[in-house]
């Protein structure tokens, strides 16, 4: 990454310690079952609304200003069940799903994409938005033991959070994993 470029995304942070603890225990169970994966660190758990990518600093300032135009109410998000991309049979990314709050997340993500395209020339992703919380990126074959852990927790209820803000986040990639810094917070009133 060039020094003058910022790698950005927009997200809702997961900071409820009880839910983070439940997810951390699940990650530990998967690791103990032999799942070779890069697990998302507890402090980095978030629901991505829009991955922007690397942009020059001036464009980052336009993005930061454009996001101020989002005016939405706060809402609840119910985190439940496990899923995987591209599928549970061949997982590359393991995630926790969203039941309540999914339509609000979809609407917020769509509005963010529209505003960033109009006011900051950020391209639309071209993919359908699927609300989820990534917990692991799988690095190899899934062991039978890990598959059993995934099946055991496939319908778990992890908890409910209240989305009261969303964040513009700078991601710095390091050999030990990404470091996230909040650029700006935007209230959902």
Residue-wise pLDDT tens digits, 150-189 = 999 999 999 999 999 999 999 999 988 899 999 999 999 8
Annotation marks residue 132 as catalytic:
yes
Neighbours of 142 (CB within 10 A): 22
Residue 84 and residue 66: Cα distance in Å, rounded? 32
The number of distinct structural domains making up the chain is 1
Instruction: Say which of 119, 130, 132, 153 is annotated catalytic.
Output: 132
Domain that holds residue 122: 5-187
Annotation marks residue 130 as catalytic:
no
Instruction: Say which of 46, 119, 130, 153 is annotated catalytic.
Output: 46
Angle, helices 102-120/57-66, rounded to nearest 10 degrees: 130
Residue-wise pLDDT tens digits, 4-34 = 899 999 999 999 999 999 999 999 999 999 9
CB 42 within 8 A of CB 23: yes
Q: What is the CATH number of the domain that holds 98?
A: 3.90.1140.10
Strands (E), the chain: 5-13, 37-39, 46-56, 75-86, 91-98, 132-138, 157-163, 165-172, 179-187
């Amino acid at each position: 990454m060039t020094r003058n470029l910022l790698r950005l995304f927009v997200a809702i942070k997961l900071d409820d310690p009880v839910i983070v603890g439940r997810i951390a225990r699940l990650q530990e169970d998967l690791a103990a079952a032999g799942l070779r994966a890069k697990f998302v660190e507890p402090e980095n758990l978030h629901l991505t609304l829009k991955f922007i990518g690397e942009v020059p600093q001036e464009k980052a300032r336009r993005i930061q200003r454009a996001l101020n135009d989002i005016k939405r109410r706060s809402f609840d998000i119910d985190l439940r069940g496990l899923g995987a991309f591209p599928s549970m049979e061949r997982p590359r990314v393991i995630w926790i799903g969203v039941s309540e709050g999914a339509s609000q997340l979809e609407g917020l993500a769509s509005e963010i994409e529209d505003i960033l395209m109009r006011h900051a020339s950020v391209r639309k992703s071209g993919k359908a938005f699927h609300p989820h919380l990534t917990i692991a990126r799988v690095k190899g074959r899934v062991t039978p033991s890990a598959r059993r852990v995934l099946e055991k927790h496939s319908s778990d209820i992890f908890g409910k959070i209240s989305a009261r803000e969303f964040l513009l986040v700078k991601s710095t990639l390091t050999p030990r994993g990404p470091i996230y810094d909040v650029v700006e917070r935007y209230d959902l009133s």
